[in-house]
Amino acid sequence: MSLVSLLLLCLVSFGAGFIDAVAGGGGLLQLPALFILLPAGSLPAVVFGTNKFASFAGTLVATGRFLRSVALDRRIVLPAALLALPFSFLGARVVQLADPAVFRPLVVVLLVAVAIYTFVKKDFGSLHAPRLGPAAKLWLAAAVGALLGFYDGFFGPGTGSFLIFAFIGLFGCGFLQASATAKVVNCATNFAALAFFTFHGDVLYAVAAPMAACNIAGGFTGARLAILKGSAFVRVLFLIVVCAVIVKFGWDTFRPH
């Protein structure tokens, strides 16, 4: 692969890490770029494995940055992350039995509902106001982790947005806390997927390593900016990302063939 292609992938990876750290959706940039710029004939599994390697590195660093500065509720984040890991792996295995693309129309509809609700309800996620008891938090967080972990392993697009929306709507988190909590859960799901791809030799390390370094830089920058700017900034970027995902997957789903 040419040096220019690698530099372009690194630039995209920085942007993807930045966006993903704040509001999720970095894969919307990084995955298409890999399909375009990797050498012709690269297997889809190699594209996905290389993408996961870079994404996991950036997500891990962004998570560490959030954990140092944002107080998270362990009764939410721990059960969600612990259940997300095995269910993400299970979702990846189920892909062999069913075509994830059949769920595209449903995902588009759900994302439209998320965008409309967030836009109309101006105070949604503006304040961190927990409203559930300890036991309810534990069981509901486990359910969210299992459901969205499975979804991430099986299909994936919009997982970060769905996690943020769930942590705000169900638990009363502010946008900043919800984004930070979603990063921890995403670390678990990305680790499970990366373990699967690594075991099968589907990571192109010569490309993945420099992309990972740039994704780390982007993730650190995005997390730092989110912490400085607070929930209002995260809310705006969240809406932009959700709308971009809707347009992308709406086009992929409903365009004439």
pLDDT computed for residue 48 by the predictor? 83
So where are the chain's domains? 3-254
Residue 154 contacts residue 147 (beta carbons within 8 Å): no
What is the arithmetic mean of pLDDT over 241-249? 83
Grade residue 134 by pLDDT with cuts at 50, 70 and 90: confident
* pTM of the shown model: 0.84
Residue 84 has pLDDT above 90, yes or no: yes
Residue 39 has pLDDT above 90, yes or no: no
What is the arithmetic mean of pLDDT over 212-225? 94
pLDDT computed for residue 128 by the predictor? 65
CA 6 – CA 99 distance, rounded (Å): 31
pLDDT computed for residue 57 by the predictor? 92
Cα–Cα nearest to 190, from 71, 72, 60: 60
Grade residue 44 by pLDDT with cuts at 50, 70 and 90: confident
pLDDT computed for residue 244 by the predictor? 84
For the chain, what is the mean pLDDT? Answer: 86
Q: End-to-end CA distance of the chain, in Å?
A: 31
Grade residue 5 by pLDDT with cuts at 50, 70 and 90: very high
Helix/strand/coil (H/E/C) assignment for every residue in the chain? CCHHHHHHHHHHHHHHHHHHHHHCCCHHHHHHHHHHHCCCCCCHHHHHHHHHHHHHHHHHHHHHHHHHHCCCCHHHHHHHHHHHHHHHHHHHHHCCCCCHHHHHHHHHHHHHHHHHHHHHCCCCCCCCCCCCCHHHHHHHHHHHHHHHHHHHHHCCCCHHHHHHHHHHHCCCCCHHHHHHHHHHHHHHHHHHHHHHHHHCCCCCHHHHHHHHHHHHHHHHHHHHHHHHHCHHHHHHHHHHHHHHHHHHHHHHHHCCC
What is the arithmetic mean of pLDDT over 200-212? 92
How many Cα atoms are found within 13 Å in the side-chain-facing hemisphere of 142?
Answer: 6
What is the arithmetic mean of pLDDT over 39-52? 82
Calculate what percentage of the chain has a pLDDT beyond 90: 32
Calculate what percentage of the chain has a pLDDT beyond 70: 92
> Which residues does 36 contact at the CB level (< 8 Å), separation at least 6?
none
